[in-house]
Structure 1
Amino acid sequence: MEAPLSKVEELRPCSQGYSLLLKVLSAKPVAVQPSRDRQRQQPQMRIAECIVGDDTGVVVFTARNDQVDLMKVGAIVELKNAKVDMYKGSMRLAVDRSGTVKAAESPASELKVKEDNNLSLIEFERITMVM
């Protein structure tokens, strides 16, 4: 049984397990890092920051390696088991090895995106409470 699709507006800091259907609005390569494991001769790690969204808002998605190839402007992608990481106080959506990123099987080309609600522009502050 598949998990129901979440919406961008439902994303919360440091949470995980989201399934989303999103449209890629922009994709910008930001880094090519050498592999951390020199013994295995793995290729360099590619990273791109992408703006993705649905009818409730947009968020920055950090694409890694093969995920970068799927992040073409206008493409509709399906994320499974996505998580929300925090970077300098703002939310970044990511999918690690436990999840998947793939092109949507039935592209919803009419997917309207609410671009004026960017959740990655909201700054969160971690506070420590003493009980």
Structure 2
Amino acid sequence: MEASLQKPTYITVKLVEPESRVFIHLKIVSVTIVSEKKKFDGSVVKQAEAVAGDGTGVVTLIARNEQLDTVVEGATIQVMNALAKVQNKFLKIDIDKWSRVTPSDQVIETVNAENDISKVEYELVDHSNPKGKDDKKGNKGGKGKGGDKKPKE
């Protein structure tokens, strides 16, 4: 049985949503090294944040090590399967181990720096108690005997 691969749908910056995998073409505006750590084996791990965008807006990218050879100021890149995540309340695109970044032949003439989606602050919403009830009794009750029943006196 042969699985058919689905062609990825490339989106624009304004359509990026938290906790989703994105396929996107971007032009790098600036790159800033945020950490450079030496490992026990002597190798150096670099991490950078890059501001990149298209005609609909800009977003902050997180890139590491070899990815920094492609993520350079002025370059147009193709980012595949990167994770859009909220980090410290702000949206960033993380080029993680499941992602791929390559130079792109897509032409991005202008970048809309006015719409920076990484400047929008996100708030963590707790969906664990959907009915809004205070569960002061703990996780008792349910099926079976016991639960919140008190013994008869």
**TM-score, normalising length from structure 2?**
0.75
Question: More deviation in 58-67 or 41-50?
Answer: 41-50
Show the counterpart of 2:115.
Answer: 117
State the secondary structure of the residue aligned to 2:118: helix
Percent identity for Structure 1 against Structure 2: 25
Paired residues, number: 124
Cα 1:53/1:4, change in 2 over 3 Å: same
- Structure 1 or 2: more strand by fraction: 1
Show the counterpart of 2:54.
Answer: 54
RMSD: 1.5
> What does the per-residue CA deviation read over 1:42-85, in whole Å, with 9 as the maximum and x for residues that have no partner?
72210111000011110000111111122221110000001112
> What does the per-residue CA deviation read over 1:75-129, in whole Å, with 9 as the maximum and x for residues that have no partner?
100000011122110011111121101111x251x43211100000000000214
Show the counterpart of 1:14.
Answer: 19
State the secondary structure of the residue aligned to 1:111: coil
Show the counterpart of 1:44.
Answer: 44
Q: Which runs of 5 or more residues in structure 1 are unaligned?
A: none
Residue type at the aligned position of 2:123: E
Contact kept in structure 1, 2:37 and 2:44, CA below 8 Å? yes
Show the counterpart of 1:23.
Answer: 27
Show the counterpart of 1:99.
Answer: 99
Contact kept in structure 1, 2:25 and 2:106, CA below 8 Å? no
Q: Which structure's relative contact order is higher, taking Cα pairs within 8 Å and 6+ residues apart? A: 1
Residue type at the aligned position of 1:113: V
Cα 1:62/1:128, change in 2 over 3 Å: same
State the secondary structure of the residue aligned to 1:97: coil
State the secondary structure of the residue aligned to 1:93: strand
**TM-score, normalising length from structure 1?**
0.86
State the secondary structure of the residue aligned to 2:122: coil
